[in-house]
Amino acid sequence: MDNAEFVKKKSIEVYFRKYFGVLLLIFLTIIFWLIFKIISPNNFGTPGRLLSYLQSSLIYAVGGCGLYFIVAMGLWDFSIGANLVLSSILACYFSQQYGYLGLILVPIVSGTLIGLLNGIVYINFHIPSMIVTVGLSLIYESLSVFATHGQEQILGPNYRAFGMYPYNVILAVCAFIFVSLVIKYTKMGTYMYAIGSNEYLAKNMGVDVNKFKVLSFVICGFLVGIMSILNISYGTSMTAASGMSSMSMNFTPLMGTFFGMSFRKYGTPVIAIIIGEFIISLIFNGFVAIGAPTTIQKVVTGIALLLIVTITTKPVRGIVVK
């Protein structure tokens, strides 16, 4: 084999490897669509319904992208459900006062500040991120109850553009582009993987680990703020959470995050999160279409989460869970 043929072969291998992950996800999407389409041909998988599935999956994909910065560092954030509830409630309230300015700006600021608070508490109190964010989520839930006095908040009909096409897609794509640029072209993206791979080595190399951990929480909160805009515009109402009822809202975006973690070796974590959330939406709606009880969604969520974590986690002897 001469040099030209060798270079050509390597180029094909690199090209194939780059897009293998995306092709695999598309293949899985088609498989799941076919399974439920065959079982329930009239109630599942029509073009109109697929667009509906995509709407909800875009919302979770934005949150999943935010969680990606946390999970890639080996941390956890179980407060995004409470963050989502509180930011959505604030979006409703301030949209009545300031229109679209309040709807867009307030949840982003709220989500970002909550992310910053999560990061500061985690760094300064030296408590595992899982415990910090669960504890803080109770506070955020209480704030949502305090702000609404337990009353359901409804978004005005004049401010629901981000709950439908094409504005929801435009906003979501802006978030995806932002995440892709941060991961690929900034120190944050590079150090995120370095800290997640070996925190102590990264620290010895001069990386300000604490700074970038706080920044990861801030970026996560920022994206949850955008998720809140999409969520309240799509659902049009939000009720305050209490008793950790917001906890269930963490898991669907988290599953998308694990798709991103699994397929990051192909260099396409954001695309994997988007398609992964769409696959999850297909499965959920497939079970609804065949008449399965609504509780089956929680069962599927739990099983899928366990399977994905099992597949993506590489146990290391002596490792300390953060």
For residue 302, the one-letter residue type is G
Is-contact 74 57, C-beta < 8 A?
no
Which residue in the block uniquely carries the two structure tokens 């995509």?
A: 54
Tell whether the model's pLDDT for residue 310 goes beyond 90: no
Alpha helices in the chain (DSSP H): 3-39, 47-71, 80-98, 100-125, 129-148, 167-185, 187-197, 199-204, 209-235, 251-263, 269-289, 295-312
3-state SS, residue 160: coil
pLDDT of residue 203: 87
Residue 201 burial by CB count (10 A; 0-12/13-18/19+): exposed, middle or buried?
exposed
Q: Is the pLDDT of residue 151 over 80?
A: yes
Percent of the chain exceeding pLDDT 70 equals 86
Spatial separation of the C-alpha atoms in residues 259 and 25, rounded to whole Å: 9
Distance CA 201, CA 183 (A): 20
Number of other residues whose CB lies within 10 A of the CB of residue 22: 16
Among the listed residues 308, 312, 271, 267, the one whose alpha carbon sits nearest the alpha carbon of residue 74:
312
Q: Are 94 and 109 in contact (CB under 8 A)?
A: no
Residue 238: strand, helix, or coil: strand
pLDDT of residue 178: 95
| Model confidence pLDDT, tens digit, residues 29-67 | 898 899 888 988 888 888 888 999 999 899 999 999 999
With a cut of 80, say whether residue 123 has pLDDT above it.
Answer: yes
Asked if the model's pLDDT at residue 242 lies above 70, the reply is yes
Residues 141, 241: contact at Cβ < 8 Å? yes
Q: What is the pLDDT of residues 128-140, one digit of tens each?
A: 888 999 999 999 9
Min mean pLDDT across 163-167, 234-238, 275-279, 288-292 is at 288-292
Q: What is the pLDDT of residues 86-105, one digit of tens each?
A: 999 999 999 999 999 999 99
**For the whole model, what pTM was predicted?**
0.88
